[in-house]
């Protein structure tokens, strides 16, 4: 060994090894902000796996699985499914896609506890949340969009009363995540009003600056 070269030890903290360059993206925003539509496009463009907890629940409800039966009435009231069930679903999804280049999380996390659980789950894979991007849409626009969607899709949780409850739940339980991720320097936001392609272009610009 050349005595003039500094000795670098791999396990004393001097050398940081990056185990993963996955891109784990959270698309954040109130119900009806367009997370689902945009998440599909983002996953396709960046070759990421799209995980929509709402879609997972709806599929289970349709197929009348034990999970679907457990969560149906909660979702139809516009309440949040208990955090413990979310961890199970996420563990399962991450395992199913163990070779993914990264994820787009849509509708998750929705509570501080879920955000902490996600950090723990990703840390087990030597990974972390890369970026959280919020779609900003005001309450009047949300109500308008969801009532329109109710006419087209007939979702049971898109009635006026349930929408009001979902917006309330979002404001009290999900919005605190903004400060949680701001504190970690991972939070950005963008206007969620405008055409789908225009908003998508804005999202891509922010992602491209990040990766």
Q: Which of 149, 156, 186, 188 is catalytic?
A: 149
- Asked if 86 is part of the footprint of ligand ADP (rule: CB under 6 A), the reply reads yes
Instruction: Closer to ligand ADP by CB, 78 or 192: give it.
Output: 78
Structural tokens at position 98: 């163990």
Of all residues in this chain, which one has the CB nearest to ligand ADP in the complex? Answer: 54
- Asked if 31 is part of the footprint of ligand ADP (rule: CB under 6 A), the reply reads yes
Q: CA-CA distance, 131 to 205, in Å (whole number)?
A: 13
Q: CA-CA distance, 70 to 175, in Å (whole number)?
A: 26
- Asked if 135 is part of the footprint of ligand ADP (rule: CB under 6 A), the reply reads no
- Asked if 75 is part of the footprint of ligand ADP (rule: CB under 6 A), the reply reads yes
| Strand-by-strand arrangement of the 49-52 sheet | 49-52, 102-106, 23-28, 131-136, 187-191
> Tokens 């309330």 identify what position?
168
Closest C-alpha among 91, 92, 70, 93 to residue 82: 70
> Tokens 């723990």 identify what position?
120
Instruction: Closer to ligand ADP by CB, 35 or 48: give it.
Output: 35
Instruction: Closer to ligand ADP by CB, 31 or 102: give it.
Output: 31
Query: In which region does residue 102 sit, left (phi positive, over 0), alpha (psi from -120 to 50) or beta (all else)?
Result: left
- Considering only 42, 43, 67, 80, the residue that binds ligand ADP (CB under 6 A) is 80
- Asked if 145 is part of the footprint of ligand ADP (rule: CB under 6 A), the reply reads no
- Considering only 23, 28, 103, 108, the residue that binds ligand ADP (CB under 6 A) is 108
* Active site (annotated) includes residue 58: no
* Active site (annotated) includes residue 110: yes
Beta-bridge mates of residue 134: 28, 189
Q: Which of 41, 77, 155, 156 is catalytic?
A: 155
CA torsion, points 173, 179, 185, 186, in degrees to nearest 10?
20
Beta-bridge mates of residue 102: 23
- Considering only 57, 103, 181, 187, the residue that binds ligand ADP (CB under 6 A) is 57
Structural tokens at position 88: 């199970």
Q: CA-CA distance, 147 to 114, in Å (whole number)?
A: 28
Kindly state the smallest distance separating residue 54's Cβ from ligand ADP, in Å.
2
- Asked if 78 is part of the footprint of ligand ADP (rule: CB under 6 A), the reply reads yes
Active site residues: 35, 110, 149, 155, 166
Give the binding site for ligand ADP (CB under 6 A): 31-32, 35, 53-54, 57, 74-75, 78-81, 86, 107-108, 110, 114, 157, 166
């Amino acid at each position: 060994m050349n005595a003039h070269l500094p000795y670098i030890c791999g396990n004393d903290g001097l050398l940081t090894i990056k185990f993963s360059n996955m891109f784990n993206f959270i698309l954040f925003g109130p119900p009806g902000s367009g997370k689902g539509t945009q998440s599909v496009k983002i996953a396709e463009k960046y070759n990421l796996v799209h995980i929509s907890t709402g879609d997972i629940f709806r599929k289970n409800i349709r197929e009348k699985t034990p999970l679907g039966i457990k969560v149906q009435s909660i979702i139809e009231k516009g309440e949040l499914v208990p955090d413990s069930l979310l961890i199970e679903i996420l563990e399962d999804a991450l395992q199913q896609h163990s070779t993914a280049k990264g994820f787009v999380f849509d509708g998750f996390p929705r509570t501080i506890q879920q955000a902490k659980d996600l950090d723990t789950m990703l840390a087990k894979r030597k990974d972390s949340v890369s970026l959280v991007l919020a779609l900003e849409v005001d309450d009047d626009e949300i109500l308008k969009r969801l009532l329109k969607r109710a006419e087209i899709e007939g979702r049971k949780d898109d009635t006026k009363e349930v929408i009001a409850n979902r917006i309330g739940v979002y404001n009290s339980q999900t919005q605190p995540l903004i400060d949680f991720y701001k504190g970690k320097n991972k939070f950005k936001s963008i206007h969620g009003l405008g055409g789908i392609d225009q908003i998508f272009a804005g999202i891509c610009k922010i992602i491209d600056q990040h990766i």
